[in-house]
Chain A
Amino acid sequence: MTTIDNSAEVENTPPVDPNAVTITINGRAVAARKGELIIAAADRANEYIPRFCYHPRMSPVGMCRQCLVEIEGPRGPMMVVSCMTPVADGQVVRTDTPQVKRAHEGILELLLANHPLDCPVCDKGGECPLQDQAFSHGAGESRFVEEKRHYEKPIAISDLVFLDRERCILCDRCTRFADEVAGDPLISFTQRGNNTQVMTFPNEPFASYFSGNTVQICPVGALTAQPYRFKARPWDLEQRESTCTTCSVGCRTVVQSSRDEILRYQGVDSDPVNWGWLCDRGRFNFQSVNSEDRLVSPQVKSGDSFTSASWSDALETVARTMRLATPGSIAILGGARGTNEDAFMWATLADALGVTMRDAQMDDGLPTSIFSYTQATIDSACAGGTVILLAPDLKEELPVLHLRLRDAADKKRIRIIEVSSHESGLTKQAWRSVRAESGTIATALGALLADSEVAAQLASGPVTIVAGRANLAESSAHTMAAVDVAVGVASHAAVLPVLRRGNVRGALSVGLAPQNGKDAAAILEASANGHVECLILLGADPMSDVADADLARRGIAGAKFVVAIDTFLTQSAAHADVVLPAAAYGEKDGTTMNLEGRVTNVVQKITPRGTSRADWMIAAELADLVGHDTGVTTLADVQKLLSSRVPGFGVTTTAVAIKRDGVVVSAGTPVRTPLSATPAPTRNSYEFRLDLSRKLYDRAVGTITSPAIAELSVGASVCIHPLDLERVGAAVGATVRVSNNHSSIVLPVAASAAVPRGTAVVPFNQPGADIRELIRHGESVVDVRIESM
């Protein structure tokens, strides 16, 4: 026997990909992968096949029949829909034969048969796939002389979306999206055949947080968005690609404007992030940028009112205060609203002034030690294994992350384990979902993970812990303790921190993280005690955002001098001595960092309102005035400085990738300070444990200054289990008194089985009575009494 050693050869041969296939499209060889659809392979090869119902992010339905192509079959050429036919090795595809051309023309003629020719007054005109493909693939004229279908038009199917059924070509994109992607099947095909129409149930609107996406993916003008209707024609729009900073998911968008006014955001398909989707809050809050209530010039307080001032006077007033302040008595709160560059320049100024009191969070997130665990990304979380949710309801706070996880669970790629104090948008998708009263999450998680089946699941693959602040009336130490429990069981777990504010991770990473454990609450406490001589609110509004309303009030009142840098005169800014108008989103260039640490760019599309300026410019000016000139005059200067100073940023800010999918930056590992979670006191059986959690639409300034979504907040209420409601002796909608030894407020009551017994859920920052009066920072949990009135 002779053994031939061919290992050298083996090494030189690239491994054969068992999934690689080659097909021919119009005579050209195209590399494809098994399972890929012909239409997707053709797209990659720049062979455009017309389509209406096909959407790469949704399951194919083969409905419109527009994407017919010819493939060689055993009995000669056969026509197949390319959106549902997978590639096969050696497959011969033709999109250019007379038969295919005839089919494309025929289908287009049929689609146009009942489609009104109202393109000149249709919002979609100029960017309409039906219009475009009728030109590129149609016969040029219709022979349909019958009367077209008539429906009442348009009808509002929600507060945001209008439906014109005459224009609809029944491609199933919106209905599929609502069902498959959003999980809100509130629109459906109704009737049948030629009378088929998309409709909601009578008196049940398409109230989905994701409804705007249906407008974007509608291939005709059947669905239009209220904020954009009749506002512009596509050829009048200019656009730049950017990143949405409404929350920290970091969805890619295009910002579109006309005549120096932002008119629309559209989702861009970024594979690692948003897949083209946006939530309605992020999509429609562009109105806020255009708001009449924007601050347009610096304001200086004289007496009880503000007077407009010049930038030089206002800045000099602030600089003088800073110069004269006792060392260590300046504090900076905020920074999460702006860009990395904004936050970095403020951190640079803070360093120069020796400011140790700084925090980009509003006591509403988690300690920065959450970044000290192995970090996960959205993609890594969704790729497989187990996801442990120790987080707020993502559908309410980080909607597009919710969509990604929902998709991964739906497609059975991941199993979700959820421990929460009330049901969330992902509860239905969860493999295991347990209710645990606030303050007991870590204990409940421990018990759950001890289950052998759960343990086996954790051991079987990657584990991602999605960690965030679920309840603002519960100390963050409980969440951190739960994370430690999970990591203790699954040491291979990675953490995906879900801090909510737009660029909070960026701000914390570039220098606005608390020092020596002195966080926003501690800073406000110091201020209340007279230890802050200059409080800088960098896009921060503690009086609205800090859960302990009393602390926020005392903190602002206690500061000797308050400077607010903001786009609006917020509740806190109203108490400031100087207010500086800040450039808003879409009015400045820069970079932002999403919740996974991904850096992408944000762009300027319009001129800043009035004399407002980017935060970084204000910081640079002030640095100069207090005698610490940074030498920075352009954004590029800031980015150069940022790259050199902050580990991980390196060449990131100038990288080409930040203009699309971004670069994940690991900006150093903060030290993990061991936290001792104060054990939650036992709840008296006649009391309720308060769960203060956010809804997508609240009194956030960007929301209330966007008319389209301003009225969508649910309003303050307290929601308890139906049996508890009986016990309280109130009817749904009645007002009840919610009280503890701090205060007492009156709220309408609601009931839901999604809330466990003994828990009272109150949405945060809603119009109506303010539950925050019952909350005191530092308390482990908050228990309240609920009495019928």
Chain B
Amino acid sequence: MARLTEENVRLAREIISRYPKPRSATIPLLHLAQEQDGFVTNEAMEHIGELVGATSAEVYGTASFYEMFKFEPVGKYLINICGTMSCALMGAEELMHHAEARLGIHMGGTTPDGLITLERAECQAACTEAPCLQVNYRYRFRVTAENFDTLVDQLQSGALEGEIPAHGTVAAVRQHIPADKAVGAIAPEDVTEGPAWLDGKAAL
């Protein structure tokens, strides 16, 4: 499959430049790769290794530690139903059973049309809104069987195209540090002095 595109390599270099050590950009770059292809390909991991100065094995070692990175294609929409404490107390198990029945797949499975992958997730930090789920990391709160069905209908009809980007894109807004405003990243070994503002005087 794919290494990073030219445009993404440009973005990758911009991201790398923010860190005193390139290796730090590994996870952001893996997200970039997942955004590009919907999952993280082996070729992308090799490419990321070249960009940050790591072996492919190291990149894979890092990537496979984290839940969000997928190494095989998943549906356009990844539905994560939370099953941790507060959601469990508020009926997450029942919701999961309903979801499996509605979509005709088990947890971890993908609908035959490749549209939806269903996963059981751990705490998504929306505990007062239990049970909750995320569609490509966009929340749906206090989900009942009925509004789960509505959600699936909307996903199938394409009604949420604009609101929810395809799997891979997490944040649709990126940070951009303007060149004229950036302080810039310096390797720690090249820093010899303390910050200028620690001179005992007020900065303003």
Contacts and interface: CB of A to CB of B under 8 A. Distances in A.
Contacts of B94: none
A202 interface: yes
A144 B42 CA distance: 37
Nearest to A186: B57
B55 interface: yes
B141 interface: no
Interface residues on A, range: 10 to 19
A204 B56 contact: yes
Nearest to B67: A192
A201 B65 contact: no
A190 B64 contact: yes
Interface in B58-104: 58-61, 64-66
Contacts of B54: 185
Interface string A438-458: 000000000000000000000
Nearest to A179: B58
A199 B60 CA distance: 9
Contacts of A203: 42
A45 B57 CA distance: 40
Interface string B6-27: 0000000000000000000000
A47 B119 CA distance: 51
Contacts of A185: 54-55, 57-58
B143 interface: no
A192 B65 contact: yes
Nearest to B66: A192
Given A185-B55, A186-B57, A202 B65 contact: no
A200 interface: yes
B116 interface: no
Contact of B65 (A187, A191, A204): A191
A187 B55 CA distance: 9
B58 A188 contact: yes
B64 A201 contact: no
A189 interface: yes
B57 A187 contact: yes
B156 to A, nearest CB: 33
Contacts of B56: 201, 204
Contacts, number: 42
B57 A204 contact: yes
Most central of A185, A201, A202 by chain B CB within 10 Å: A201
Contacts of A189: 61, 65
B64 A191 contact: yes
Interface in A177-209: 179, 184-192, 199-204
Most central of B46, B58, B61 by chain A CB within 10 Å: B61
Contacts of B57: 185-188, 199-201, 204
A43 to B, nearest CB: 31
A515 B100 CA distance: 87
Nearest to A203: B42
A301 B1 CA distance: 61
A156 to B, nearest CB: 15
Interface string B28-60: 000000000000001001100000001111111
A184 B54 CA distance: 10
Most central of A179, A188, A192, A203 by chain B CB within 10 Å: A188
Contact of B42 (A184, A186, A192, A202): A202
Nearest to B53: A428
Contacts of B65: 189-192
B42 A190 contact: no
A190 B61 contact: yes
A179 B61 CA distance: 13
Interface residues of B, number: 14
B190 to A, nearest CB: 14
Contacts of B46: 201
Contacts of B61: 188-190, 199
Interface in A146-192: 179, 184-192
B64 A186 contact: no
A202 B71 CA distance: 11
Nearest to A191: B64
Given A201-B45, A202-B42, A192 B55 contact: no
B43 to A, nearest CB: 11
B29 to A, nearest CB: 16
Nearest to B45: A201
B68 to A, nearest CB: 12
Nearest to B55: A185
A61 to B, nearest CB: 15
B64 A192 contact: yes
A184 B55 CA distance: 8
A189 B42 CA distance: 17
A187 to B, nearest CB: 6
Contacts of A192: 64-66
Contacts of A202: 42, 60
Given A201-B45, A202-B42, A190 B60 contact: yes
Interface in A65-111: none
Contacts of A184: 55
Contacts of B64: 190-192
Interface string A615-632: 000000000000000000
Nearest to B54: A185
A186 B55 contact: yes
Most central of B42, B46, B56, B66 by chain A CB within 10 Å: B56
A187 B60 CA distance: 10
A201 B49 CA distance: 11
A203 B43 CA distance: 11
A415 to B, nearest CB: 13
A189 B59 CA distance: 11
Contacts of B59: 201
A202 B42 CA distance: 8
A202 B46 CA distance: 10
Interface in B92-151: none
Nearest to B62: A188
B45 to A, nearest CB: 7
Contacts of A191: 64-65
A203 B66 CA distance: 22
Interface string A448-490: 0000000000000000000000000000000000000000000
Contacts of B60: 188, 190, 199, 201-202
Nearest to A195: B64
Contacts of B42: 201-203
Nearest to B56: A201
A422 B181 CA distance: 41
B13 to A, nearest CB: 18
A202 B58 CA distance: 12
A204 B60 CA distance: 12
A184 B57 CA distance: 10
Nearest to A428: B53
A543 to B, nearest CB: 40
A188 B55 CA distance: 10
A572 to B, nearest CB: 41
Nearest to A196: B65
A752 to B, nearest CB: 14
Nearest to B46: A201
A191 B46 CA distance: 18
B36 to A, nearest CB: 19
Interface string A199-221: 11111100000000000000000
Contacts of A186: 55, 57
Contacts of B66: 192
A345 B163 CA distance: 87
Given A185-B58, A201-B60, 14 more contacts: A179-B58, A186-B55, A188-B57, A188-B60, A188-B61, A192-B64, A199-B57, A199-B60, A199-B61, A201-B56, A201-B57, A202-B42, A202-B60, A204-B56
Closest 4 A/B residue pairs (Cβ): A188-B61, A201-B56, A201-B57, A190-B64
Interface of A: 179, 184-192, 199-204
17 contacts: A184-B55, A185-B58, A187-B57, A188-B57, A190-B64, A191-B64, A191-B65, A192-B64, A192-B66, A199-B57, A199-B60, A199-B61, A200-B57, A201-B46, A202-B60, A203-B42, A204-B57
